[in-house]
Amino acid sequence: MESFDAVVVGAGVLGGAAAYYLSKEGLKVCLMDREAVGSGASAHGHGALSLVGKDFKPGPHFLLGLAGKDVFTGFVQGVMEDSGIDPMYHEADGVSLALVEEEETIFREAIASQSQYVEMKWLDGDEVRRLEPRITPDAIGGVLYRHGQVDAYRLSLALAQATERMGGQLLLREVTGLKTQGSRVTGVTYPGSEVAADAVVIAMGAWSNAAR
């Protein structure tokens, strides 16, 4: 049974990022997934980095999201250099549409509370359609702001590749449980074997309940 400093379960964006940073700190890391790198939610998300709307609560939660956005460009650049894989991150102006009054209220509240941190502007329906004539006439308006987008599948691949280049190991096995000794987690089990580790990171998303 091989032993690692850390086992990360789930090779999507979050698990890959954990494995990547642990490897950069010099730890011996095993990155595990039951199917393939980025085969879960990371392969199906649209990869947008947006602070507009209700994804973040006002206050510390929003400021945490803002800090993440501010470091993301440097993060992606470092991963690309360490892996040789371009995650295709880019930034562009975009419009989040309001099709019903509830969405308009959400966006106007966001402008009131977040515009001191993120440049954004409310456009009425006519202004939106001057930018893009194909937008539905039902659109009440929208928020114009600059946002980022990344290919989350390619980012997952890049993080796994960088982890391997720094001495980590990718193991495609389905984790079915945790090994424990007293109150400590000492590794994970999978059909037919187990992996020992000083630390275990669960990054399995909606499937996390299986590893217990």
Q: What is the predicted pLDDT for the residue at 211?
A: 67
pTM of the model: 0.90
Q: What gap in Å lies between CA 116 and CA 18, rounded to an integer?
A: 31
Structure tokens belonging to residue 189? 């089990």
The pLDDT of residue 212 is 65
Q: Give the pLDDT band (50/70/90) at residue 172.
A: very high
DSSP code, position 35: S
pLDDT exceeds 80 at position 1: no
Beta-carbon contacts of 143 under 8 Å, excluding residues fewer than 6 positions away, are 52, 95, 96, 98, 107, 110, 111, 120, 121, 122, 123
Specify the pLDDT at position 43: 85
Contacts of 129 (CB under 8 A, 6+ apart): 135, 137, 139
Q: What is the mean pLDDT of residues 160-183?
A: 95
> pLDDT band for position 44 (50/70/90)?
confident
Question: What pLDDT, on a 0 to 100 scale, did the predictor assign at position 175?
Answer: 92
Cα–Cα dist 136/195, whole Å:
54
Q: Where does the pLDDT of residue 209 fall: very low under 50, low under 70, confident under 90, or very high at 90 and above?
A: confident
